[in-house]
Amino acid sequence: MMQFADLPLVASPISVVEENVIEEGILNFASEQKLSDIQLIRRSMNAVYKVVSPSGPKIMRVSRPTDTTLPAIEFADYLRQNNFEVPAPMSRAPFRHDEIEITLWEFIEPDPKRLVDWPAIGNFVRRLHDIDPNDIAKFYPLPKATSFPWWNFDHLLAEMGSTLDASDCEVLLKRWQALRPYFTTAQNIDLGSSVVRPVLCHGDIHPGNVIVDRNSGRPVLLDWDLLSVAPREWDHAALLTWATRWGGQASTYSDFAQGYGSDFSTNDLANALAELRLLSATLMRWRAGLSTPSARAEAENRMKWWRQDPTAPMWQAV
């Protein structure tokens, strides 16, 4: 039986790394690979860039891995060999510089005007959930999804409590206590269980992690750094509240569920995990807001929803 890893492949955001370390690493990697026209696409857990190589455009990912990002390359190869459409790794091994690693990936030209085929993504995820986690654990360190630092609610609430208004803190604490039994269910998974069957989860399925390939017209699921083992409800959770909290097509989840073959919109565990994702997103944004004014403004907006304020705006991903 597999042993769960303590942490995901990437457990801390790239923002914790000194800028000069990132710049030096990119400069050295770009020189080695003859890369030019380096353009930042986004920063979150990783920094993602579009670059130009001698053979054409590529994606460059800069990470601060728990150990090494080599398993990400091996996992992408595994998926592609089993007819899952994911970006191909262009690096056969990561480039190490200090505490960061840099890898090169296939660039897929997105078509932002074309709607995502969410039933296709649902079917993709169903096939992913059919993979035996034991097979992946032979080369990829798989944690429980609940082991991610941003799911340590006792710690986050203790840390943030003194910075929150007392009534806001009480609201969040009450919701956490109400949701704790569901978190425990997801945490106490057993690969041999017939009650709550753990599966291989992408861990972060939402519209920001899906693009439509301009050439093929097919959707592509990106950002696999939160690959983990959890109840299958975990990969439904984000989409259950996405349209109401973050905006977008109201039919996104129902379309996804149609392709998956099961609808979890009335499933207690799935809905609890969806709310726990929102709780984590609020606390993490509040923490960021202690030092960044723009993050504080967004955190305040998110708190309006927890207060059941009718003027609460849609949340903004930052």
Task: State percent of the chain over pLDDT 90.
Answer: 90
Cβ 226 vs Cβ 203: under 8 Å: yes
Reported as a single tens digit per residue, the pLDDT across 69-78 is 999 999 999 9
d(Cα 25, Cα 116) in Å, to the nearest integer?
Answer: 35
Same domain, yes or no: 85 and 223: no
Task: State percent of the chain over pLDDT 70.
Answer: 98
The pLDDT of residue 12 is 87
Residue 80 counted as domain residue: yes
Same domain, yes or no: 229 and 130: yes
What's the CA dihedral at 238, 63, 85, 277 to 10 degrees?
-10
The pLDDT of residue 261 is 98
The pLDDT of residue 14 is 94
The pLDDT of residue 44 is 85
Of 61, 81, 106, the last residue of a domain is: 106
The pLDDT of residue 317 is 83
Domain of 286, CATH number, reads: 3.90.1200.10
pLDDT band at 133 (very low <50, low <70, confident <90, very high): very high
| Furthest C-alpha separation in the chain | 58
Give the count of beta carbons closer than 10 Å to the beta carbon of residue 23: 10
Residue 247 counted as domain residue: yes
Domain of 100, CATH number, reads: 3.30.200.20
Same domain, yes or no: 274 and 139: yes
Average pLDDT over residues 180-202: 85
Residue 314 counted as domain residue: no
- Domain hosting 189: range is 118-306
Reported as a single tens digit per residue, the pLDDT across 247-300 is 999 999 999 999 999 999 999 999 999 999 999 999 999 999 999 888 999 999
d(Cα 86, Cα 88) in Å, to the nearest integer?
Answer: 6
The pLDDT of residue 196 is 72
d(Cα 290, Cα 294) in Å, to the nearest integer?
Answer: 10
Q: Is 24 helix (H, G, I), strand (E, B) or coil?
A: helix
Q: Is 301 helix (H, G, I), strand (E, B) or coil?
A: helix
Same domain, yes or no: 127 and 99: no
Cβ 63 vs Cβ 70: under 8 Å: no
Residue 26 counted as domain residue: yes
Same domain, yes or no: 213 and 234: yes
Residue 4 counted as domain residue: no
Same domain, yes or no: 173 and 224: yes
The pLDDT of residue 194 is 53
Cβ 35 vs Cβ 51: under 8 Å: yes
Q: Residue 136 is encoded by which pair of tokens? A: 């992946």
**H or E element that contains 154:** helix 153-160
Reported as a single tens digit per residue, the pLDDT across 192-241 is 665 677 999 999 999 999 999 999 999 999 999 899 999 999 999 999 99
Same domain, yes or no: 87 and 19: yes
When the pLDDT of each residue in the chain is averaged and rounded to a whole number, the result is 94
Same domain, yes or no: 292 and 157: yes
Tally of domains within the chain: 2
pLDDT band at 125 (very low <50, low <70, confident <90, very high): very high
The pLDDT of residue 11 is 85
Q: Which of 208, 210, 205 is nearest to 274 (CA)?
A: 205
Same domain, yes or no: 19 and 141: no
| Phi, psi (rounded to 5 degrees) for 208 | -70, -15
Identify the residue whose tokens are 């009718």: 310
DSSP 8-class letter at 35: -
Same domain, yes or no: 197 and 81: no
**Whether pLDDT at 3 is above 60:** yes
61: Cβ contacts below 8 Å, ≥ 6 apart: 46, 47, 48, 49, 69, 102, 103, 104, 105
Same domain, yes or no: 128 and 221: yes
The pLDDT of residue 195 is 62
DSSP 44-104: SSSEEEEEEETTEEEEEEEE--SS-SHHHHHHHHHHHHTT---PPBS-SSPEEETTEEEEE
Same domain, yes or no: 123 and 98: no
Of 106, 130, 158, the last residue of a domain is: 106
Identify any residues that bridge with 47 across adjacent strands, giving them in sequence order.
43, 62
| pTM beyond cutoff 0.75 | yes
Residue 318 counted as domain residue: no
